[in-house]
């Protein structure tokens, strides 16, 4: 330390010492998009490291205090995620440390962690497997001693339009009538060849990559987040998840799955709704199915909720929980 630095008086603490220009309580104040590595437990008991963006908030209940101690929030995150993997217990401990370091200023705290969960998924028919990336959000909220836990997830799948499939079948029927009308007998081999030709199958239904975005409120009793279990639950309900490694036999199996699972966005939403309603670990849910139409320049969208009082509402945008959207008293 230089003589100049040693002679410096105590540094001012404006956020703590200065009075607010205008008195008022704040529902949330803090930081978002904090860059931080996190470790996540996988379903095999190992740890996966991922780069995350973290949101850290507390409320401000003293109307006369100008600001909170944001650096304390960052230091708690840095130490907590450096020492422990991301799980419900870690989130709860960090939220408690937020409130302890803001005693008298805050009685509610929130942490949101956004990251990509990368895992191996098997091919449909071949013995291969490949990497898949799933965007995941973990959200913990502590208010007094009440801890709530939420998880966000996005799953990609394929959707084939039922209306388009019916119209394509009609074109094929009419082509069959045109080519074979009036013939008393149709040779089996010739018919078999016709069905496998571009001349016979003149039309195909349109299908497109689609996305299911979910937010679920979990019972706060987990040792680890049920990421893979929820991915499996959604993909099994939709039946046409996008694939990583694809050989010809896998692509044929995928075509068969699409043909056997024609669905509008309404169908996709109801499938997810049925699956989540059966899951006792989920207290509430919100989901949006978006079909990125290949026929139109716009998308087809459906939104579902569980319908819990005070829970998620089916707004046009991101999910909102009524009990968390209130302002500070």
pLDDT in tens, the chain (329 residues): 666 666 666 665 655 555 656 778 999 999 999 999 999 988 778 899 999 999 999 999 998 898 899 999 999 999 999 999 999 999 999 999 999 999 999 999 999 999 999 999 999 999 999 999 999 999 999 998 899 999 999 999 999 999 999 999 999 898 888 888 888 788 888 888 888 888 888 888 999 999 999 999 999 777 889 999 999 999 999 999 999 999 999 999 999 999 999 999 999 999 999 999 999 999 999 999 999 999 999 999 999 999 998 889 876 555 665 544 433 33
Which pLDDT belongs to residue 185?
84
Element containing residue 265 per DSSP (H, E)? helix 265-277
Going by the DSSP 8-state scheme, the letter that residue 78 receives in this structure is H
What's the CATH class of domain 3-161+206-324? alpha beta
Structure confidence at residue 198 (pLDDT): 86
* pLDDT for 328: 35
* Cα torsion through 209, 211, 212, 215, rounded to 10: 170
Q: Do 182 and 269 form a contact (C-beta atoms < 8 A)?
A: no
Per-residue model confidence (pLDDT) at position 19: 62
Contact 136, 268 (CB under 8 A): no
Predicted pLDDT at 13: 60
Count Cβ neighbours within 10 Å for each residue of 133-164 and write b for 16 or more, e otherwise.
ebebbbbbbbbeeeebbbbbbbbbbbbbbeeb
pLDDT of residue 310: 86
Q: Which two tokens stand for residue 14?
A: 């404006």
Dist. CA 304–CA 313, nearest whole Å: 9
| Domain range summary for the chain, segments of one domain joined by + | 3-161+206-324, 164-195
**SS3 of residue 282 by DSSP:** strand
At residue 229, the pLDDT reads 94
The answer to whether 111 touches 91, Cβ cutoff 8 Å, is yes
Residue carrying structure tokens 């043909």: 259
- The DSSP symbol for 320 reads E
Separation of alpha carbons 304 and 302, rounded Å: 7
Instruction: Fill in the DSSP letter of residue 45.
Output: S
Beta-bridge mates of residue 312? 321
């Amino acid at each position: 330390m230089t003589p100049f630095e040693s002679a410096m008086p105590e540094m001012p603490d404006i956020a703590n010492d200065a009075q607010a220009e205008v008195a008022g309580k704040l529902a949330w104040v803090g930081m978002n998009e904090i860059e931080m590595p996190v470790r996540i437990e996988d379903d095999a008991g190992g740890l996966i490291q991922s780069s995350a963006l973290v949101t850290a908030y507390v409320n401000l209940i003293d109307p006369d205090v100008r600001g909170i101690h944001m650096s304390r929030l960052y230091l708690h995150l840095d130490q907590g995620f450096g020492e422990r993997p991301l799980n419900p217990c870690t989130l709860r401990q960090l939220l408690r440390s937020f409130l302890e370091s803001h005693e008298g200023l805050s009685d509610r705290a929130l942490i949101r962690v956004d990251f990509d969960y990368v895992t191996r998924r098997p091919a449909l028919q071949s013995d291969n497997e490949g990497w898949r990336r799933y965007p995941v959000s973990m959200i913990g909220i502590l208010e007094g001693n009440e801890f709530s836990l939420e998880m966000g997830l996005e799953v990609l799948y394929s959707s084939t339009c039922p209306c388009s499939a019916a119209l394509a079948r009609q074109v094929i029927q009419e082509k069959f009538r045109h080519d074979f009308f009036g013939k008393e007998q149709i040779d089996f081999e010739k018919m078999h060849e016709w069905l496998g030709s571009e001349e016979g199958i003149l039309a195909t239904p349109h299908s497109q990559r689609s996305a299911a975005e979910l937010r679920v409120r979990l019972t706060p009793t987990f040792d680890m987040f049920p990421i893979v279990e929820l991915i499996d639950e959604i993909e099994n309900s939709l039946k046409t998840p996008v694939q990583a490694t694809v050989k010809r036999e896998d692509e044929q199996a995928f075509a068969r799955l699409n043909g056997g699972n024609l669905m509008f966005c309404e169908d996709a939403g109801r499938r997810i709704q049925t699956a989540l309603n059966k899951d006792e670990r989920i207290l509430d849910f919100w989901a949006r199915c978006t079909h990125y139409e290949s026929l139109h320049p716009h998308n087809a969208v459906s939104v579902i909720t569980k319908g819990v009082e005070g829970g998620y509402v089916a707004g046009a945008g991101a999910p909102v929980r009524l009990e968390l959207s209130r302002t500070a008293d």
